[in-house]
Structure formats: C-alpha cells, structure tokens
C-alpha cells in the first residue's frame, strides 16, 4: 500500500471528525509545550500525559497494566517529577537546566541531534520517573515539542514500518536507540508526505486501523 499527501489529509480529517480524543489532544498540543517549559503545571497535568498514552487506545490496553503504570507515576515525588521534565526539556533544547546553551561538538554517535538536542539525555531524564519507559517518555517528548518528537507505540511502529525502511519487528522493550530509529523514519515520512508530526499521527491512527490493530502493548 502506498500513501500520498492527499491520503494523509483525508485520514487526518477523519481523525478530527471521528476520534473522541481529538479536541483534548488539540488543546494539549496548543497549551502544554509552553506550560511545561515555564514550569506552570501541576502533577495532574503530568499524570494526564501518562493516562493519555494508554487511554488513546480506547480500552484496548489491558486495564490492570495501565492502572499499574498510572499508579506508579502518581506516586512520584513532585519535585523529582518537575526536575526530570526540566532536564528533558533542557536536553531537547540543547541547554543546561539553568538555560545556558551547551557547548557544540556533539554528533549522531553520542546521541546529540543535528539541531542541538540530546535525545538520549532527554529519554534518560524521563525514564527516571516511576512507571515511565521509553514509550511513555515519547508521549512526554511529544507534548514538550510536538514539532520534533513523535509518540511511539506498536500501532505507530507498524504503520511507519510499512511505509518506510524501518524494521517491522516491534521491539520489546523499546529502547532509546529503537526510538531514535523510529523517529528518523517518521520524520522522513513526514517530509515526503508534506505534513507535520501532528498530521502524521492523526493519519497513522486511521491508516489500516482494522488491518493493523493496536498490539495491546506499548
């Protein structure tokens, strides 16, 4: 199956019209990046990101596993939670936690991105938090910077792999290196299809929804 920019527009429009989470997702994408950077958010906002990651499956994710992760995260120390998110923001922005620009000189071999962000450091910061693995961390990254970081899960991986050269075998667990490969493939497809991460995400959730269902895994 091939996909065109027109297909992406159609799928994204279907998502907007039919998916019950669309309004709250749009609001979060518009408000959370600034709130997270300014530190103007509470524990419930961070907990919402964790809940959203699982509940976007609309009941398809095992309830006991979902609850276990949500409860672990809800027990996180508030200061540690804010520190981890601040460290992740500093990493993706290429700054220190104090806001100073880090020295140049990183390359792809050490996890430093061409735009100055350090994906490995961002993921390491977020996965310090209880219940947060790389997949859940990708949700935080998306709401930190929705223009650069796609969320990853089994469904997203399957669709991106079908339309790129990404290995179709979904890794279990997903590592930082796996996410880096997924992100690279996603960004390439995004450019080819003349869309952005938010548009591609909406299309992914509609593409082959019956043929490639969520794998009941992160």
pLDDT digits (tens, 9 = 90+) for 164-208: 999 999 999 999 999 999 999 999 999 999 999 999 999 999 886
Q: Considering the chain, what is the average pLDDT of its residues?
A: 86
| 56 vs 30, higher pLDDT | 30
* Structural domain contains residue 212: no
* Structural domain contains residue 180: yes
pTM: 0.87
* Structural domain contains residue 213: no
* Structural domain contains residue 218: no
* Structural domain contains residue 216: no
> Collapsing DSSP states into helix, strand and coil, what is residue 112?
strand
Nearest to 156 by CA among 91, 84, 101, 208: 208
| 58 vs 213, higher pLDDT | 58
All residues at 6 or more sequence positions from 86 whose CB lies less than 8 Å from its CB, including other chains: 39, 97
Q: Provide the residue range defining the domain that includes 139.
A: 5-206
pLDDT for the residue 208? 64
Q: How confident is the model at residue 25 (pLDDT cuts 50, 70, 90)?
A: very high
Percentage of the chain beyond pLDDT 70 is: 82
Of the ranges 7-16, 55-64, 118-127, which is most confident? 118-127
Nearest to 193 by CA among 13, 4, 11, 14: 4
Q: What H or E segment, with its residue span, contains residue 138?
A: helix 134-144
* Structural domain contains residue 157: yes
* Structural domain contains residue 173: yes
Q: How confident is the model at residue 62 (pLDDT cuts 50, 70, 90)?
A: low
pLDDT for the residue 115? 58
pLDDT for the residue 215? 43
Q: Measured between alpha carbons, how far is residue 1 from residues 28, 111, 206 in Å?
A: 32, 33, 14
pLDDT for the residue 108? 41
pLDDT for the residue 171? 96
Q: How many domains does the chain have?
A: 1
> Collapsing DSSP states into helix, strand and coil, what is residue 92?
helix
pLDDT in tens, 87-112: 999 999 987 555 554 444 333 434 54
The whole-number average pLDDT for the span 134-160 is 96
Burial category of 209 from C-beta neighbours within 10 Å (exposed 0-12, middle 13-18, buried 19 and up): middle
* Structural domain contains residue 201: yes
Judged against a pLDDT cut of 90, whether residue 218 lies above it is answered with: no
Q: Measured between alpha carbons, how far is residue 155 from residues 74, 112, 167, 214 in Å?
A: 26, 27, 14, 5
């Amino acid at each position: 199956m091939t996909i065109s920019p027109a297909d992406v527009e159609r799928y994204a429009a279907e998502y907007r019209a039919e998916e019950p989470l669309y309004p709250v997702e749009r609001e979060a994408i518009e408000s959370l990046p600034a709130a997270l950077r300014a530190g103007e958010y509470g524990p419930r906002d961070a907990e919402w990101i964790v809940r959203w990651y699982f509940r976007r499956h609309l009941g398809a994710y095992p309830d006991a596993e979902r609850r276990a992760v949500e409860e672990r995260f809800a027990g996180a120390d508030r200061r540690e939670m804010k520190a981890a998110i601040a460290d992740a923001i500093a990493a993706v922005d290429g700054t220190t936690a104090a806001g100073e620009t880090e020295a140049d000189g990183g390359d792809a071999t050490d996890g430093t991105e061409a735009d100055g962000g350090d994906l490995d450091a961002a993921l390491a910061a977020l996965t310090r938090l209880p219940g947060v693995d790389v997949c859940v961390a990708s949700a935080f990254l998306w709401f930190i910077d929705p223009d650069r970081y796609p969320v990853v899960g089994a469904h997203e991986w399957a669709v991106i792999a079908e339309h790129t050269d990404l290995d179709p075998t979904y890794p279990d667990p997903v590592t930082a290196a796996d996410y880096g490969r997924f992100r690279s493939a996603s960004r390439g497809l995004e450019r080819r299809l003349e869309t952005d991460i938010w548009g591609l995400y909406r299309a992914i959730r509609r593409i082959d929804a019956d043929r490639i269902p969520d794998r009941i895994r992160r």
